[in-house]
């Protein structure tokens, strides 16, 4: 949507035309309208994972939002995330509309990058080949993509000289997730979907990864959907937190959170941080006891 050249008059600018509502009303990044997903519909083991889920994530100019999703186990968090990604069998939804940038989701694509909880590095590819996988699929010339790949390996805090040619089985869990994040971010996706990416990491590595993620997220300006079981993680990372109810899951509450001002370790000691955490913890405890 490039604007035609405009005439500058002092501190003002004359636009070449009067703006229309369509131009100003930017489509929502993600929109769920009464989405219900029933697995194995029509069979004896039919199971409704999410019911009537409706929410919207606006497009904030110059900055994607960081959305955290919290909820008891099995409430349908992964179901929501995978519907946005367009992955089967969560896609298509049984009823309702899943819209991304105003368009119904028709299938997976690199505009919605995803980082999974399990390690999904391609075992037969080196770190560099893993990171540049998406660029290779775009047929970017090898030299160019290797250069970009090295840049991202470095950004992810890995050692380009020693790690780039290792195979995934030679890496620790934290390093594997760095590779997984790098190969997603290198494609500059509009939306990044993360399904408990740090779930298998030890607490210290986890804090480091959180700081790294915040830094990189600001750089790529994408909207992030981040599923986690850690309330601290959600409050630290999130601009918004969605609290989900038990299955069949719905979104129960939406919290807006102030942006973090310092590192994960420091932030997580502040009283206002802890207050938000305790509030959410009470909510979830109540939810789980109602099960």
Partner 1 sequence: MNFSFLDRLLRNWLTLRKPVSRLQAIGLGVACILLCLTGWWLITQGAAESRLVGPLTLPSPAETFSKFSELWNDFALTRNVLVTLRRVSIGFALALMVGIPIGVTAGCFPRVHAFLSPLIMIGRNVPLAAVLPLMIFIFGAGEKNKVMFIFVASVAFVISDAARAIMDVSARYIDTAYTLGASRWQTISKVLVPLAAPTIFSACRQMFGLAFGYIMLAESIKIADEVGGLGYQIQIFQRRGFREHIYLIILVIPMVALVIDQVLAWIQRQLFPHLYGGDGMLRSLVRITLIPWESMKSLFFYRTPVSLPSVATEERPK
Ligand X SMILES: Nc1ncnc2c1ncn2[C@@H]1O[C@H](COP(=O)(O)OP(=O)(O)OP(=O)(O)O)[C@@H](O)[C@H]1O
Q: Which residues bind ligand X (CB under 6 A)?
A: 39-40, 47, 49, 71, 73-79, 89, 247
256 and 239 Cβ atoms separated by less than 8 Å = yes
The tokens 């620790």 sit on which residue? 172
87 binds, among Mg ion, partner 1, ligand X, none (CB under 5 to 8 A by kind): partner 1
Q: Does 92 bind partner 1 (CB under 8 A)?
A: no
Residues of span 231-290 touching partner 1 by CB under 8 A: none
Alpha-carbon span 179 to 116, nearest angstrom: 12
Which of these ranges, 40-48, 129-137, 197-205, 282-290, lies near partner 1 under the rule CB under 8 A?
129-137
Which of these ranges, 13-21, 114-122, 236-244, 271-279, lies near partner 1 under the rule CB under 8 A?
114-122
Helices 142-155, 173-185: axis angle to 10 degrees equals 130
Name residues whose C-beta falls within 8 Å of residue 225's C-beta, 6 or more positions apart in sequence.
30, 67, 69, 81, 84, 191, 192, 193, 194
Nearest to residue 137, comparing CAs of 115, 164, 109? 109
Q: Does 134 bind partner 1 (CB under 8 A)?
A: yes
Alpha-carbon span 179 to 157, nearest angstrom: 10
Alpha-carbon span 95 to 99, nearest angstrom: 13
**CA end-to-end span of the chain:** 49
CB-wise, 78 or 245, nearer to partner 1? 78
CB-wise, 195 or 211, nearer to partner 1? 195
Q: Which of 17, 19, 43, 139 binds partner 1 (CB under 8 A)?
A: 139
Q: Which of 78, 90, 177, 268 binds Mg ion (CB under 5 A)?
A: 78
79 binds, among Mg ion, ligand X, partner 1, none (CB under 5 to 8 A by kind): ligand X
CB-wise, 120 or 263, nearer to partner 1? 120
**Which positions lie near Mg ion, rule CB under 5 A?**
78
């Amino acid at each position: 949507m490039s604007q035609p050249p405009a005439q500058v008059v002092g501190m003002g600018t004359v636009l070449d035309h009067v703006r229309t509502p369509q131009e100003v009303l930017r489509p929502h990044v993600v929109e769920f309208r009464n989405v219900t997903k029933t697995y194995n519909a029509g069979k004896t083991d039919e199971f409704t994972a999410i019911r009537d889920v409706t929410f919207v994530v606006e497009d904030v100019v110059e900055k994607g939002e960081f959305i955290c999703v919290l909820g008891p186990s099995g409430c349908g968090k992964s179901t929501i995330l995978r519907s946005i990604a367009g992955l089967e069998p969560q896609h298509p939804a049984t009823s309702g509309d899943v819209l991304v940038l105003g368009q119904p989701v028709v299938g997976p694509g690199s505009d919605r990058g995803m980082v999974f909880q399990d390690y999904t590095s391609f075992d037969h590819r080196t770190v560099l080949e893993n990171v540049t996988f998406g660029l290779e699929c775009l047929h970017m010339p090898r030299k160019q993509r290797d250069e970009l790949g090295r840049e991202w390996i470095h950004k992810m805090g890995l050692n380009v000289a020693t790690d780039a040619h290792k195979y995934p089985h030679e890496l620790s869990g934290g390093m594997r997730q760095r590779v997984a994040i790098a190969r997603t971010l290198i494609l500059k996706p509009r939306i990044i979907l993360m399904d408990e990416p740090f779930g298998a990491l030890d607490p210290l590595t986890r804090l480091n990864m959180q700081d790294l993620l915040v830094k990189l997220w600001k750089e790529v300006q994408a909207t992030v959907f981040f599923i986690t079981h850690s309330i601290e993680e959600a409050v630290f990372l999130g601009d918004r937190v969605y609290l989900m109810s038990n299955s069949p899951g719905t979104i129960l509450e939406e919290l807006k959170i102030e942006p973090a001002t310092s590192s994960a370790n420091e932030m997580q000691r502040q009283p206002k941080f802890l207050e938000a955490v305790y509030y959410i913890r009470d909510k979830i405890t109540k939810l789980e006891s109602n099960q």
